[in-house]
Amino acid sequence: QVQLAESGGGLVQAGGSLRLSCAASGRTFSNYATAWFRQRPGTEREFVAGTTKSGHMTSYAEFVKGRFTISRDNARSTTYLQMNSLKPEDSAVYYCAAEQGGAIIVPTEYDHWGQGTQVTISS
């Protein structure tokens, strides 16, 4: 089973940037599609961005298109989320997820999850 560990969260001002990292261990990272989800207070967890196991295909939620970029480095077993032009409504716990497969399209469901990292955007 793959284990995931997020890092890079923190407190930034609106308009700023953060880069989240998710380091994987335990299984061959390149066999897994990866994604980022978030959960804001009082809401359900929602999809933010995802990538196929090669990194060639990506998918984004409408509310982050043009601001966030997902990428991965299979040699480092790490996936990233670059977040720019951050807004207070982006404040949430961000979770990394992985799903075996995902060669052609970004999966919609994931079996493996990290513990999450808090992102807080001040206005």
Confidence of residue 11 (pLDDT cuts 50, 70, 90): very high
Predicted pLDDT of residue 104: 85
Query: In this prediction, what percent of the chain has a pLDDT beyond 90?
Result: 90
How many CB atoms lie under 10 A from the CB of residue 53?
A: 24
Span 101-111, average pLDDT: 88
Residues of the chain by 3-state class (helix, strand, coil), percent to 5: 5, 50, 40
Coil, strand or helix at 67 = coil
pLDDT tens column, 39-84: 999 999 999 999 999 999 999 999 999 999 999 999 999 999 999 9
Task: Give me the residues paired with residue 57 across strands.
Answer: none
Query: In this prediction, what percent of the chain has a pLDDT beyond 70?
Result: 100
Is pLDDT of 103 > 90?
no
Predicted pLDDT of residue 6: 97
Predicted pLDDT of residue 101: 86
